[in-house]
Chain A
Amino acid sequence: MKSTIAFAVMAAFAAAVQAQAQAPAAPPSWQQGKPPAAADSTLHPFNIEMTGKSAKELPVDKLKLPAGFKVEVWAEGMPGARTMALGDKGTLFVGTRQLKEVYAVRTVGGKREAKVLLKGLDAPNGVVFNKGTLYIAERHRITSYANIEAQLDNPPQAKVVVDGLDPDKQPGHFWKFLAMGPDGKLYYNVGAPGNIVMPGYFQATISRVDPKTGVVETVASGVRNSVGMDFHPQTKQLWFTNHARDWLSDDLPNDTLHRVSRKGMHFGYPFCHQGDTLDPEFGKSRSCKEFDQPALKLGAHIAPIGMRFYTGKMFPAEYQNNIFIAMRGSWNRTVKQGYNVMRVALDDKGKVTKYEPFMTGFLVDDRADPPMWGRPNDVLVMRDGSLLVSDDQNGIIYRISYSK
């Protein structure tokens, strides 16, 4: 009897697998929500250099910064380099999205040595380091690697913090950012499973998990996809960037910057975008008044990824507690924008007082295909106060420093 059931279950499973294999392939996630009027559009996402590119082939000297700042190539040879985390002993950990690898970069005799630390992971975009432990967010789970800096040549087995974060293998926005909260909990995004779709109950959220217990909570909802977040150095409040929907127009809706001032906030997706613009389909019978407002509209299709508060001592005093945001740049816009690092200044109440470009020069021709030679992806403040910027298009990390 038992074996009959087991056989039946196996047969049903095999049939399901076969049925799945025969189902027609769905259009890629980036095409979801494309209106019939845009059927002939030649806009398309750009693909990263899967094998990386050498800095000497690139116009790095075209990068521009305010007076007193300079930029240099800090490390290269890490295809798809995205999110960065700094270890206590100075190891830089770097996550990837389209590759399966996490890199470790060490400084030996003044030179950077990059190596593949972990391989075979599933979209290991999120990396964060805390008290000797490296945490990694993959598509479906968050894992930890204790005492990692003592074992860089022979990393330990992954220990699971939480699994089952992607039970349906969602087609879009399955990569995750990871941040360590002041409460000792790990914060991460679960993106919307498409461009403009009704999310499942834990999708389109910022969530957190307690690494001690593995218990998950929703922190904020109505967030289409956030791949950058940080905590304000003084208020300890969570701030995050968010990508708005595509295929509506060149100038709407804006990507946004958000502040979480209480638990249970809802930022509107899929009903209301940028706090004031109803979605033509999902917003029909809703009002934007029921949702929380963004802290700042960043620009349409500008693609804000990593963001960090500047807490270093190297830059001038006016930069203290500013936010740097890496803008990966647009594809779904006829005139491209972004492809730079932006600076946001806040007053004591957390109100934005300044929003301006900080590092530019990756964008070559805003109407060309492709328009750029590099794409900033994350920023990280180093202990000496310099700022690292990752470029996943080329697999390069730059260092910005300041001197009078």
Chain B
Amino acid sequence: MRLAVRNAMASAVAFLFPLAVLAADPNLCAACHGEGGNSVNPAVPSIAQQPRQFIATSLFMFREGTRKDAQMSPMAANLSNAEMNQLADYFSKQKAAAPKHQSSAESAAAGPALAKKFNCSQCHGPQLLGQQHIPRLAGQQFEYLRLQLKSFKAQTRGDIDGNMSAAAQALNEKDIETLADFLAGQSVP
């Protein structure tokens, strides 16, 4: 499976990633996360321009089993720390594409106040671009955001310090819909 993906993608995208010397191949990630880490699948997160430490920490959690996903867990299982760091460095330096998602007028209007009310901006930053081990939310894929918030609320999503599991307790179904819809349509400077 891994090899098949590699073969299928290799010739097509080799010239897009001139860093062919990397031990961990970003082409493998791009097969699902999109060219340069900009996902075109609403259920798959964009990893372009995510904070370096966040990407490395996520890969670590998938490898160690503190975060679980049918696709990601096996992908991360054999990566070394050095490979994770290389991938994190690479994707953190890719430019985030303009979001395809269009927020509804209601979500766009209610979003900023909601993000403040539920303390999103306290850690994710005033423009929700993430920092250190905390991810960028602005322009992230809609379905992915919605599922993460639901999973944090249900306490089934791996959480490095318990912060998000606690923060998500205050959200109701509608808040989650509104926040995900608002965030997914935010463009990244």
A binds B: yes
Q: Which residues of A contact B (CB under 8 A)?
A: 21, 24-31, 40-42, 44-47, 49-54, 77, 79, 100, 369-370
Complex interface: chain A residues within 8 A of B53 (CB)? 47, 49
User: Which of A21, A25, A42, A46 gathers the greatest number of chain B CB atoms within 10 Å?
Assistant: A25
CA distance A146 to B56 in the complex (A): 36
Asked whether, in the complex, the Cβ of A51 is within 8 Å of the Cβ of B169, the reply is no
- Can you list 20 A-B pairs, Cβ within 8 angstroms, ordered by A? A24-B169, A25-B168, A25-B169, A28-B162, A28-B166, A29-B162, A30-B161, A31-B166, A46-B132, A47-B53, A49-B53, A50-B57, A50-B60, A51-B56, A51-B59, A52-B81, A52-B85, A54-B85, A79-B81, A370-B132
> Which chain A residue shows the least CB distance to B85?
A51
**Which residues of chain A are within 8 angstroms of B162 by Cβ–Cβ distance?**
25-29
> Which of A21, A46, A51, A370 lies in contact with B84, CB distance below 8 A?
A51
Partner of B123, one of A21, A44, A53: A44
List 4 tightest A-B contacts by C-beta distance, closest first.
Answer: A25-B165, A51-B81, A47-B133, A50-B60
Query: Which listed residue (A26, A42, A47, A370) contacts B161, Cβ 8 A?
Result: A47
The answer to whether the Cβ of B131 comes within 8 Å of any Cβ in the partner chain is yes
- Chain A contacts for B59, CB-based, 8 A: 51
Across the interface, which residues of B come within 8 angstroms of A370, CB to CB? 132
User: In B120-154, which residues have CB < 8 Å from any A CB?
Assistant: 122-123, 131-133
Assembled-state Cα–Cα distance A369/B126 (Å): 13
Q: A53 near B60 (CB under 8 angstroms)?
A: no
CB interface residues, B 19-69, toward A, < 8 Å: 53, 56-57, 59-61, 64
Given contacts A45-B161, A49-B53, 15 further A-B contacts (CB under 8 A): A21-B155, A25-B165, A27-B163, A29-B162, A30-B161, A40-B122, A41-B122, A44-B122, A46-B132, A50-B61, A51-B56, A51-B57, A51-B60, A52-B81, A52-B85
Interface contact B132-A26, CB-CB below 8 Å: no
Q: How far is the CA of A24 from the CA of B166 in the complex (A)?
A: 7
Could you say which residues of chain B place their CB within 8 Å of the CB of A30?
Answer: 161
Q: Is the CB of A49 within 8 A of B123?
A: no
Bound CA span A135–B168, Å: 40
Closest to B57 in A: A50
List, in ascending order, chain B residues with CB within 8 A of A41's CB.
122
Which one of B56, B61, B64 lies within 8 Å of A49 (CB-CB)?
B56
**CB-nearest residue of chain A to B80:** A51
A216 to B57, CA, bound (A): 38
Report the minimal beta-carbon distance from B32 to chain A, rounded to whole angstroms: 21
Q: Which chain A residues lie closer than 8 Å to B155 at the CB level?
A: 21, 25
A114 to B149, CA, bound (A): 39
Q: B81 contacts A47, CB within 8 Å? A: no
B116 nearest CB neighbor, chain A only: A40
Judge whether A369 and B161 touch: CB under 8 Å: no
* Contact status B132-A50, CB under 8 Å: no
State in angstroms the CA–CA spacing of A22 and B61 once bound together.
23
Residues of A within 8 A of B88 (CB): 51
Please name all residues of chain B whose beta carbon is closer than 8 Å to the beta carbon of A24 when the two chains form the complex.
166, 169
Which residues of chain B are near A53, meaning CB under 8 Å?
85
B160 interface residue, CB < 8 Å from A?
yes
Query: In the assembly, what is the distance between CA of A52 and CA of B82, in Å?
Result: 8
The residues of B that contact A28 with a CB separation of less than 8 Å are 161-163, 166
- Closest chain-B Cβ to A189's Cβ sits at a distance in Å of 21
Contact yes or no, A42 B56, CB < 8 A: no
B166 and A50 form a contact (CB under 8 A): no
Q: CA–CA, A21 to B156, complex, Å?
A: 10
